[in-house]
Amino acid sequence: MWERLRRLVEKPSRIAVGLMSGTSADGVDAALVRLHGHGRDTRVETLAFLGTAYEETFHRRIVEAYEGGVADVCDLNAAVAERLAAAALAVIAQAGLEPDAVDFIASHGQTLYHIPLGDRPERDAHRVPSTLQVGDGNLIAQRTGIVTLTDFRTADMAAGGGGAPLVPLLDELLFRRPGIRRVVGNIGGIANVTLLGTEQNDGVAFDTGPGNALIDVAAQLSDGALRFDEEGALGAAGQVDEQVLARLLAHPYFEAAPPKTTGRELFSAALVRELWSAFSARPRDGVATLTMFTAASTAGQIVRFAGTIDELVLSGGGIHNPTLMRMLGECLPGVTITTTAAHGLDPDAKEAVAFAVIGNETLHGSPGNVPRATGAARGVVLGKLSMP
């Protein structure tokens, strides 16, 4: 085993699959990349990307597991791993390669629960800071025959961090430019940003709050046949309720200074259901209000902690919602808003690529976290190793 790992690390470049199943729990993103070097010298070449949606029944199982029992978690640990392994094999095939050409897989897994330091739901205030991502690495390694790295958040939390965000390693590697005051953000179920090249808090990263998660719930309550607001159509047809919006923006999470992280536990489906009575006769207004909540909370956190910026570079599912993007632009007048595509990286693939890069650091015995982003006491090697 150790000889195999030594040869892998000593190669001038490595081919890897990065796997990401985000907070929205809507599917698996698989990125096949070639990695040259490591650390500050890392160069990333994306060879293929494949997004695979979960079937509706499986998506529902994950969402229900947030309030489910131990048996649900045990089952999903294997069931999610099966889908992650299948996604890895599919993206390898898409690139015209065989599995034995791939050096390693780095899988974030599916977060079922996240209890970070700092502001937490009242029901979790007594709990030890912890996090749980399912998608068993041993199963992935056996199904694919490829060295597999998983469970990246826990080492950071053991070192006193919040376990997220972990993408700043990639953000600093690919998007920092001298003299440009740039924020790099990802709008998944939860939104996060990395502040680069600013005079204050340079290199700080944190979760800003809700991304698509609350909009998705609102769309489902508006039309049971929908899983999300496709093309932002519902939000575009509604009117923002300013009173409800003001109440949402008064959430104490937004007052907390970075480093900070959050998830569905704080910005939950229950929050949407509590206020939905105000929108029962006008569901499109509910979707519009929650879309603006994501835009205004994201923009507000950027302004508060980054000050004046030149450019916002976005990735994640939120970029496909034109209504959300328009509202974000309204909240950040004078700021150029682009996507990572303008910088040579598929915005849907970004987080999967990030975990391939983190996995590469793990194999080299190098830290994969950015302590000023997570709050950890020090840089630590992330992840756990599973051999085929």
* Domain architecture of the chain: domains with CATH: 2-163+349-386 (3.30.420.40), 168-343 (3.30.420.40)
Instruction: Name the phi and psi angles at 190, rounded to 5.
Output: -115, 150
Q: State residue 103's pLDDT score.
A: 98
Query: Shortest CA distance to 91 belongs to which of 157, 30, 5?
Result: 30
Q: How many helices (H) does the chain have, and how many strands (E)? A: 14, 12
Q: Cα 289–228–211 angle (5° rounding)? A: 55
Distance in angstroms (rounded) separating the CA atoms of residues 356 and 90: 16
Q: State residue 202's pLDDT score.
A: 67
Ordered per-residue pLDDT tens for the chain, 388 residues: 889 999 999 999 999 999 999 888 889 999 999 999 999 999 999 999 999 999 999 988 988 887 678 888 999 999 999 999 999 999 999 999 999 999 999 999 999 999 887 766 777 777 888 999 999 999 999 999 999 999 999 999 999 999 999 999 999 999 988 888 899 999 999 999 999 975 555 678 999 999 999 999 999 999 888 999 999 999 999 999 999 999 999 999 999 999 999 988 899 889 999 999 999 899 999 999 999 999 999 999 999 998 889 999 999 999 999 999 999 999 999 999 999 999 999 999 999 999 999 999 999 999 999 999 999 999 999 999 999 9
Please name the residue that has the structure tokens 């000593």: 10
State the DSSP code for 258.
Answer: S
Q: State residue 154's pLDDT score.
A: 97
Q: Write the DSSP assignment of 208-257 as a string of letters.
A: EEESSHHHHHHHHHH-TT-SS-GGGHHHHHS---HHHHHHHHT-GGGGSP
Does residue 26 contact residue 54 with C-beta atoms inside 8 Å?
yes
3-state secondary structure of 108: strand
Q: Please give the structure tokens belonging to residue 343.
A: 């910088």
Q: State residue 316's pLDDT score.
A: 96
Does residue 367 contact residue 379 with C-beta atoms inside 8 Å?
yes
Distance in angstroms (rounded) separating the CA atoms of residues 59 and 82: 14
